[in-house]
Amino acid sequence: MTLLELVDVTASYGPIQVIDGVSLSVPEGGAVGILGANGAGKTTTLRAISGTVRAGGTIRFAGRDIRGLRPDQVAALGIAHVPEGRGTLGQLSVRENLMVGAYLRKGRQAIAADVDYCLDLFPQLRDRIGSRAAALSGGEQQMLAVGRAFMARPRLLLLDEASLGLAPGTAKTVYEAIRRLRLESGIAMVVVEQNANLAFSLVDTATVLETGRTALTGTTAELKGMDEIRRAYLGG
Ligand SMILES: Nc1ncnc2c1ncn2[C@@H]1O[C@H](COP(=O)(O)OP(=O)(O)OP(=O)(O)O)[C@@H](O)[C@H]1O
Ligand SMILES: [Mg+2]
């Protein structure tokens, strides 16, 4: 069953339209990548889904038209957005950030169990549980941002460049944990990523955006086999 479907989505900042015909489809439990050059509209596409930019076209989630809903309404339906730049709350501790992710939930035991699960997924956070988020390394902040999104127990996770600014080894660790989260939780994902190798380690299919439009969609294997994808995104 299709969980999320975008058909000819457009979006603008004030008078300037920056995406102009983005279509993609995420099955229940599936993971779809969005690739594209800087400025292609990847972040804006995620914002259109989470309701943080005004969008046109069709955005359907779990059979319901969600275009035009407020960000809090979209979140309440089960979509968690890990934004570019992570968006952790610097003055709050790691534990408090995780609890913020769970603010709509009831059931203290289940929430406590999920905090434990986050610390198992990202063991580096265990020692820092009482530290302010602002004092964490970039990699730890990214782990916290993913953990906080998981704490909402979403049906769909929107991930924006989880590898940005991280050393290659750290980026790989973060992606391995997200992959494990996907396998164990079945949460569907839309994964924006400049590093196509990392994206392909996580997703089943991907869409390539060019200047605000869907230019190409294929399975990971199909895309890896295309010369233009290899040249543009896989370094050869
Ligand atoms: N708040 C904003 N106001 C006006 N224009 C914006 C705003 N945010 C982004 N843009 C423009 O919209 C276009 C798409 O930006 P977007 O951030 O979606 O691209 P992106 O694919 O995520 O790029 P990157 O890989 O650099 O993160 C760009 O031309 C950008 O300059
Ligand atoms: Mg971006």
Whether 99 is in a domain gets the answer: no
Kindly report the number of other CB atoms within 10 A of residue 219's CB atom: 13
Helices assigned H by DSSP within 31-86: 42-50, 71-76
pLDDT in tens, 85-135: 888 899 999 999 999 999 999 999 999 999 999 999 999 999 999 999 999
**What is the tally of structural domains in the chain?**
1
Determine the structural domain holding residue 7 and report its residue range: 2-89+154-233
Whether 130 is in a domain gets the answer: no
CATH number at residue 213: 3.40.50.300
Distance 166 CA to ligand 2 centre (A): 15
Could you tell me the pLDDT band of residue 182, with boundaries at 50, 70 and 90? very high
Distance 73 CA to ligand 2 centre (A): 23
Rounded Cα gap, residues 11 and 45, in angstroms: 8
Rounded Cα gap, residues 115 and 165, in angstroms: 26
pLDDT at 62: 97
Distance 12 CA to ligand 1 centre (A): 10
Residue type, 24: L
Whether 213 is in a domain gets the answer: yes
Q: Report the atom number in ligand 1 closest to the C-alpha of 40.
A: 21
Residue type, 9: V
